[in-house]
Structure 1
Amino acid sequence: MDLETIKITGPYNFDGVLDRISRDPLNVLNLEERSIKIPIMIEGTPIVAKVTAIGTTNEPAFTVSGIDGDHKEQALNRVTHLLQWDTPLTEVNNFFNNTDLKEIFEQHKGTPLILDFSPYRALLKAIVHQQLNLSFAYTLTKRFVTTYGFEVDGVYFYPSPEKVASLQVEELRELQFSNRKAEYMIGIAKAIVEGTLDLDSLHNKSDDDIMEELIKLKGVGPWTIQCLLMFGLGRPNLFPFADIGLQNALKKLYNMDRKPTKEEMEEYIKDWEPYLSYASLYLWRSIE
């Protein structure tokens, strides 16, 4: 089996990445080995790429295996994009040195904004996570994927849009989905199958255009779209005001006896543009 070795510009804290994503039971990783298996689809072919860290935060390096064959170059490009190896963090770190987030960025130096393994997965995951506590949201997502998805090399792939579109609300209810959440999941899958929702086309659209397009979907609100933009598409300037975790992180940062108002949050974030997604990520890290 071919083994690709990749060296990138630091800082890049892969151990912090593994720690953060280890809460999701669908992620297959080994903290001691410093590795993760990434499920990716290339032209309908499921591929499991294993990424292992062999470097340090300041001098990051990795090996990638499992991507032999016709789709090798495409798979390696996908891994590079998902793990944001092509986005050096030096400029972001330097930017926040002159802000209220300086200490948080120093504490979690080199934490990249890694992406969910596909925009489709990011959107469905965001729907499941709506208005649920994190633990149950992960449990519900795991039930959904292990029941209707498929497994390759010990890693689960999300069920295809065609599979989800064929489900009945009652089937998802048996997994403890609410009626509404089940309807939203099936509705989004049907929109993809029918061609009214083209997730691949979103890469070439602006944040505002994507918000305008997706807000029309039943069950999709601003928070869900912001999660997709941030973790599905890697957009750098998102700050989900309605996110309880961010509210709690700001409460802690500014030693408040209550959660901040939206007006207060709008004032705080003025100094953090155009990297609001990184501000969000590091604030989440500060309370995890």
Structure 2
Amino acid sequence: MLVNQQDHLIIAVPKEFNFKENISYMSRSNNECMFEIRDGKVIKAIPVGNEILLVEVSENTEGNLLVRFIEKYTPSSDSVRDMVVHYVRDWFDLDTDLKPYYEMAKRDPLLQQAVSEFYGLRNIGIPDLFEALCWGILGQQINLTYAYTLKRRFVETFGNSIEWEGQSYWIFPEPEYIAKLTVEDLSSLKMTVKKCEYLIGVAQLIADGSLSKAQVLETGNFKEAENMLIKIRGIGPWTANYVLMRCLRFPNAFPIADVGLHNAIKHLTGAEEKPTKEEILKLAAPWENWESYATFYLWRFLY
């Protein structure tokens, strides 16, 4: 069901969706710069084609998503409105049927508590490939708090914004712009030279058409998609699987080396030591083709 009015859209959600649970997850950092949570609603600038729209996403009385277009930042045509619907559905991962995941998880010793506590949580995505890759690179080998700080510096230095009620709503930097920069141009961000090189390199690949979301998805195969990303300088298995999970929606993406995953498993099992890779693989055997959601739900115990 989709209700399409001039100033808003109503998007039906699956039964296995809880807006408040997703808002709770999205509120985990007070340093998020790509959207604002205000009064239980999400406000975000969305670039669509040559337009920038400002939307407010909330829950209506029927439990569906109400997407309101704010003031002058409204779609110019029905086709643009359709792209907004596609973006929101992708962002909240509304097209994934979670019933099989919940059936599996409620029988799993590690996941049963997670699906009980966080029922209706979706893998809130990063629809733009460049943004997802940059977030993965920025987060390498640092804690989550500092990763948010680096992202804010990057976005506010090189991105654009629109204004509403005295608040800036940021649009992630364009790869075509970043591709033309030098490491010295990024020096004010206070991150390693290697990360600066990786960000510029990824931007260049996307800007010259060597890499796109469509190209990765067209592989149709997880291992091929993973290998395509790992060949990129600065993209190792952790970053590749993070992007395959959060942007490209491969259900079997599994960042097995993730410290947060290790800590969540240690917390739930009461173990004194973090699990080994072999122990994780054994625990994850029942999660086949749901590794992405299993990881996301386990992360939720930590942040």
Give the CA RMSD over aligned residues.
1.7
Q: How far apart are 1:277 and its partner, in Å?
A: 0.9
- TM-score of the aligned structures, taking structure 1 as reference length: 0.93
1:95 alignment partner, one of 101, 104, 109 = 104
1:267 alignment partner, one of 277, 282, 298 = 282
Q: Which consecutive unaligned segments of at least 5 residues does structure 2 have? A: 1-5
* Structure-1 residue corresponding to 2:3: none
* Structure-1 residue corresponding to 2:37: 30
Q: How far apart are 1:192 and its partner, in Å?
A: 1.5
Look up the SS of the partner of 1:49 in the other structure.
Answer: strand
Q: Which consecutive unaligned segments of at least 5 residues does structure 1 have? A: none
Q: Are 2:129 and 1:122 aligned?
A: no
What amino acid maps onto 2:175 in structure 1? P
Q: How far apart are 1:174 and its partner, in Å?
A: 1.6
Q: How many residues of Structure 1 are paired with residues of Structure 2 in the alignment?
A: 284
Q: Are 2:66 and 1:60 aligned?
A: no
Residues of 2 paired with 1:145 and 1:94: CA distance?
40
2:48 alignment partner, one of 38, 42, 53 = 42
Look up the SS of the partner of 1:5 in the other structure.
Answer: strand
Contact 2:125 2:246 in 1 (8 A): yes
CA displacement, residues 236-288 of structure 1 (integer Å, 9 cap, x when unaligned): 12221110000011111111110000000010000111211111011111223
Contact 1:12 1:109 in 2 (8 A): yes
Contact 1:246 1:280 in 2 (8 A): yes
Moved more, 210-219 or 191-200: 191-200
What amino acid maps onto 1:62 in structure 2? L
Contact 1:10 1:88 in 2 (8 A): no
CA displacement, residues 80-122 of structure 1 (integer Å, 9 cap, x when unaligned): 1221122243332122111111122101111111211412111
Question: How is 1:84-163 mapped onto 2 (pairs within 5 angstroms)?
Answer: 84-100=93-109, 101-153=111-163, 154-163=168-177
Q: How far apart are 1:135 and its partner, in Å?
A: 0.7
What amino acid maps onto 2:266 in structure 1? K
Moved more, 76-85 or 267-276: 76-85
Residues of 2 paired with 1:284 and 1:31: CA distance?
24
* Structure-2 residue corresponding to 1:15: 20
Residues of 1 paired with 2:35 and 2:212: CA distance?
28
CA displacement, residues 150-202 of structure 1 (integer Å, 9 cap, x when unaligned): 00243211111111011110121221021100010011111112222223322
Residues of 1 paired with 2:46 and 2:127: CA distance?
7
Question: Percent of counterpart pairs with the same letter?
Answer: 31
Look up the SS of the partner of 2:107 in the other structure.
Answer: coil
* Structure-1 residue corresponding to 2:201: 187
What amino acid maps onto 1:63 in structure 2? L
Contact 1:10 1:89 in 2 (8 A): no
What amino acid maps onto 1:49 in structure 2? V
What amino acid maps onto 2:212 in structure 1? D
2:234 alignment partner, one of 204, 216, 219 = 219
Residues of 2 paired with 1:39 and 1:232: CA distance?
18
Moved more, 18-27 or 113-122: 18-27
Contact 2:222 2:252 in 1 (8 A): no
Contact 1:39 1:47 in 2 (8 A): yes
